[in-house]
Structure 1
Amino acid sequence: MLGASRPRAVPYEIVAIGTSAGGVKALVKVLGALPADFPVPLVIVQHLDPHHDTILADLLDRRSRLRVKLAENGETAEPGAAYLAPPDRHLLVAPGGKLVLSQGDKVRFVRPSADSLFASVAEVYGAAALVCVLTGTGFDGSTGAKEVTARGGTVVAEDPDTAEFKGMPQAVANAVAVDLVLPLDDIAGALVALTERTRSL
C-alpha cells in the first residue's frame, strides 16, 4: 500500500487522469464520487472525436459535485474543479497551474495525449503529481507515467482485469511499478485519501 514503503515528503498539488475507450462511464463514476471541496485541481485527457465538438464536460458537470469544464488556454487550474482537454488539443500544465492548449503533433496517433499531460505534470509538480489511468485501448499514458515515477510522483491505475478496456491500464502497469491498482469503484476513494494531507495544510 502506498505510504507504507514510500512515505510522502510533500502533499499532492494536482491530479491528472487519462482514459480512452469506456472512459465516459469511468469518469462519471470517479468524478461523481468526489466531494465539491476536493483540495486540488483535476486535469483530464479523454480521447475524443477530433472533428466534432463535445458535450462531455457538460455531462460530467451535471453528474458531479465538482465544477467540470473544457480547459481554456491560459486559465489557472483551481481546486474543486476538473478541466477536460478539448477535442484535437493537447492539454498541458505550466508552472503556477496555468493550462496550455496545444495543437502540436499527435503522440502515439492521438491528440489530446495522456502522455503529454502526464509529462507536463511531472515536470511542473515532481513528487507532488498524482496521475491516474483508467480504461482505454492502446498505450497512451505509459510513457508519461514513467516521467511521473522518475520525478517521485504517484501513479494509480484501474485494475486491468476489471477495466472495460484493459489496454491503457495494462500498458502503464507494464511500464512502471504502479503505486495503486484498484477496481473502478475504489478509485475516487483512493484519490480522496491520497489528497487528505493537502486538505489539512
Structure 2
Amino acid sequence: MSTQHLAPRPAPSRGYAAIVVGGSAGGIDALLELLPALPATLQAAVLVVLHLPRDRRSLLVEIFQPRCALPLREAQDKDAITPGSVSFAPPDYHLLVDAGPQGPHVGLSVDPPLHFSRPSIDVLFESAADHYGPRLVGILLSGANEDGVHGLQTIQAAGGLTIVQDPGSAGMPTMPQAAIAGLAVDHILPPEGIASLLADLHQRQQL
C-alpha cells in the first residue's frame, strides 16, 4: 500500500489539546520513532495504550524516558491530564479520560476486556473523543486485532484528526488495515512520517 500524506485540514481554532495513541504487537517499535520526536515545548497531553501482559509490571516509562524530552509516567487513577506530558495505561486497567471541575483527569477501570484486551484502545479513544471533540489527534499503530478501529471512528465523527500507521511499515498490519477498511482516515504514514506530521503541527502551533 502506498503511503498517504494528505494536506492537513484546518486545525481547531484553539489547536489540538490531546494526542491518544494505541498499539499492540509491533507498537513499541513505532513508539520508539514517535515519542522521542515530541519536543519539550509540546502543549498537548499524550495518552498511550499498548496491549501488555496483564501479570507483568510495565517497563514502558523506563524504556522511553531516557529517549524523550517530555516527562513520562504510568497513569494513576484521578491523575490530572496535563499538557506536555505522556501517560501510559498500566497493565490490566482500561485508561479513560474523565471530566472534572478542575479539568480532565485519568480514570482507570477494571471493566471486562474489549477485543480480549485490557487496557483497550477503543475505551481510551472513545472517552477522549467525548471530552476533546475536534481538539483530539488519534493515532493507531501496529497490532494483530481490531481494537481501536471503532474508537478511531468515534474520534473522526467528533471532528478529530485520525492517523494510522502504514500497514507496510507495521510488524503486525491487521490493526491498521482494519482501520483503513473501516473509515477514511486523514493520514496513513510510517512511524517516521507520523513523527514529522506531529512536528509540523507543533511548528504551526496546533499542538
Residues 46-195 of structure 1 aligned to structure 2 (within 5 Å)? 46-95=50-99, 96-195=103-202
Q: d(CA) in 2 for partners of 1:76 and 1:112?
A: 19
Q: d(CA) in 1 for partners of 2:195 and 2:44?
A: 13
Contact 1:129 1:148 in 2 (8 A): yes
Name structure 1 gaps, 5 residues minimum.
none
Q: d(CA) in 2 for partners of 1:126 and 1:35?
A: 24
1:40 aligns with 2:44: yes
Name structure 2 gaps, 5 residues minimum.
1-5
1:16 aligns with 2:6: no
Q: Which of the residues 20, 26, 43 maps onto 2:30?
A: 26
TM-score, with structure 2 as normaliser: 0.90
Name the SS of the counterpart of 1:161 in structure 2.
helix
Q: Which is further off, 12-21 or 26-35? A: 26-35
1:198 aligns with 2:206: yes
Name the aligned partner's letter for residue 12 of structure 2: A
Name the aligned partner's letter for residue 16 of structure 1: V
TM-score, with structure 1 as normaliser: 0.93
Q: For residue 9 of structure 1, report the CA deviation from its aligned partner.
A: 3.4
Which residue of structure 1 aligns with residue 3 of structure 2? none
Contact 2:48 2:86 in 1 (8 A): yes
Q: Which is further off, 116-125 or 156-165? A: 156-165
Distance change (3 Å), C-alpha of 1:2 and 1:94: farther
| Cα-to-partner distance string for 1:64-109 (whole Å, 9 max, x where unaligned) | 1111110111011212210000000000011222111111111111
Q: d(CA) in 2 for partners of 1:65 and 1:25?
A: 18
Name the SS of the counterpart of 1:198 in structure 2.
coil
Runs of 4+ in 1 over 4 A off after TM superposition: none
